[in-house]
Every structure is written in structure tokens, then in C-alpha cells.
A and B are shown apart, each in its own frame.
Chain A
Amino acid sequence: MELSPKEKDVLRKPKELLEKPKLDEDHKPRASVDAKKRKEELKKIHYFLRLTREFDDRGRKLWRQGRMEGTFFSQIGQEATTVVPTFFTERGDFIGPQHRELGAIITRGCPLELLASQLLSRKTSQDKGKCHPNFWGWTEGNFLAPCTLMAAQTGVAVGAALSFKMRNMHFIALTFSGEGGTSKGQWHEAVNFAAIHKLPVVFIIQNNWWAESVPLRLQAGNEDISKRAIGYGIEGFRMDGNDVPLLYDFFSEWIPKIRANIGPPVIVQLDTYRWYGHSEIDPADYRAKEEVEMWKQRDPLPNFESYLVKEGIMTEAEIEAVREKALEEVQKAYEFALNAPEPEPKTCLEDVYAP
């Protein structure tokens, strides 16, 4: 397809087009951050990023081998935008994902066996074969299984945050939508209400530039959707969603701050990219090859790994060891699911109503 001048511009000099976060002046050197803690946490984040990547990759393969039903919604390329914010959530926080937040549920601590079981519609999953394979939820971790409709979880997250504020509980609600979801009335209703009551919500917009086949320029009049924050009377930020240290510095400050003050909400637009189609049945031929290639160069994982080595946080060997460990865990989880029993067909009649 014909690229707009703006898109051509993105292809030429992507970095310059992505604003750095507007952090407070006194925050900039982050002198207050314990350097040792930062290193330890970045290592943990690396592990979750890698685990997410390997789990997704193996899932895609299973779909291509015809070993799972339905279709697979790969999030490869978008790991950082889900893993990093979720890393700063605590037990008691609420997470309202959209449908490409594998990194969030893995970082939240959901056992991989549960996720793999759902992907293969096994009895051992939380949903027991009733939900779409990719739409993972984990009630124990206050992680609501997605409702497929775009931005459907945004208002629900706001309701969770309302309940925290009403009861003076120091929890936050973290909710994800794609840039496409922000065109829904429900998204507006949710953000507006959260702004009125200064509720503790982090609204993540994962801008992967394409809502299925519709580009951002046909989705919003201003491609910086976070600017809408001004209209709501709250703060909004836009940043490179593939820059892990940048995301770390932002969320490690903002999430604890919002939790401590039980609000106000913040909109964070994270520019990123999904490498593959909307799902595996989508060849994604609406995108220019050069664009895909450019974003693959900006893969959050190897770039972050280079950073870790450069900063002396991890060695090449340690990074390789993490990769092996992640692969092993993923293999084990899928082995478990492949050998797990199928649900009985008649159990589709269960769980319609709570007793």
C-alpha cells in the first residue's frame, strides 16, 4: 500500500519521532534509585521478557502444526509494553488486559501450565475449554480473562480502582488497550470517570500502529493519543515502548507513586510493533515489508540484552543461560498441557451461573 509522508518519515528516522517521557526535572538523573536494586530488577524483567518470547514462539508453532484450535494471537515484538508495567504491580492490584498481554500474565506470576493448558483447550486450564485459547485470565492474580471486545476491560479496571479508592486501599488497576481500542466510547467513558475521581488507574495504550488492518492515521486525528490526557485533566505520556530501561525508569517511579496516593490516573502510550498478523490467519499484507523490517531491528529483547551487557548487569553467558532456562520451562509447560486430559463436552453447561 501507499505510505503516507508521515509513515515514510517513521521509516527514515523512527527514534526522533518518539518523544522521551516528560518526567519531572528532579526525577531525571534518578539519583534516588538504588542502583543495585535497579540492576536486580532489570535482570528479573529480562527473564520475564525472554519467557514471554519463548512461550509465544512455541505457541505459534503449535498452531502451525495444527495442534491447537482457533487461532493464535502472537504478541512477539510487544513484550516490553506488557512485562515492564506489570512487573511493578503487587498482590491485590487488578489487571484488565486486552488480548495481546501474554507478557502481563506471565509477569503476574500465572503458572505456565495453566496458560499452555488453555491454549490447547485442556481440562487443566482455568477456563476448562470454554474460553478462546489466547484469552488468558488468572483469577488468583486478579487478572481478568479478556473480553474480546476492544477497550471492554478499561471500564472494569476503573471500577476496581473505584473500589480501592472508596475503601482507602493502596492498590492500583492496570489496564491495557491497543491504539484501536481508544476509539471506543467505552474507553472515553472509563478515562473520564477515572479522571473525575482521580482513581488509581494506569491506562496503557499499546500503540502497535495497526488495529488489525487499519493504520493509526485512520484511527485517530492525533497519533499522540496520550495528548487526550490534557482534555481529561490528567497526565499523559508517550514513549518508545521497546526501550526497556526507559520503561523501567518510568514505571518504577509512577506505579508506586499512584499506589501511595491512590491516584490520580495516568495515560501512557507505548509505541511498539507486532511482528505478525492480528492473529495467525492474518497475513498482514497491509503493511510495508520495510516497515516490518525496521521494527524487527528495534526488537526490545536483543537491544535490552546489549544494554545489560554494556552496563555490566549481565554477561553474554548469563543471558544465554536465561534463554535456556526459559526454553526449558516453556517446553515443560507445553509437555504438561499436551498430555493433559480434554474437558468433557457436557461440562460446557457448567459455570453459567454462580451457585
Chain B
Amino acid sequence: MHLARVVGTVVSTIKDEALKGAKLLIIEPLSHDLKPAGERLVAVDAIGVGYGEHVFFERSREATVAFPDRIVPADAAILAVVERVDL
């Protein structure tokens, strides 16, 4: 899993059936001290998050099973809101 911050939203009316009703968000990967670390990407929101929130996300095949009832064509899924990181 990776830390990230939600920085934007992607609105798409015509999309794959399995993604209907799912929110696509732009996230910025973060390092452990919450500094930007890497290219921003589009992720599917599996839990309901908003702008500016810190989250963690999973990449690759594991992202496809983020929803309990279906496999989604996604390579990144937001799986939790992170309230704080203790170091």
C-alpha cells in the first residue's frame, strides 16, 4: 500500500459498466512524512473520500477486487482514509 493525497476528480459519463457509480479521483503519492513522492495518477474510490484527504491506496491486480460484488478494471484503488501517521 502507498500513502497519497486526493488532489482532484475525474468525471466520466461513458465508462466501463463495472465502474458505473464508482468515483475516479486524482491522487498524489506521498512519502511517509507526507511530502509529494511521484507522479499523480487516477484511482478508483472504494470507500468515499474527498479533496485534500490523506488516504492509502493499492496498485495492480489487488485494485480490481476493491469492491465486494464485482471485479473492476482499475490499476489503483483508494482503500482507506489515513488520519495520521506516527513515526
Partners in one complex: no
Question: Which A residues are closer than 8 A to B by beta carbons?
Answer: none
Question: Which B residues are closer than 8 A to A by beta carbons?
Answer: none
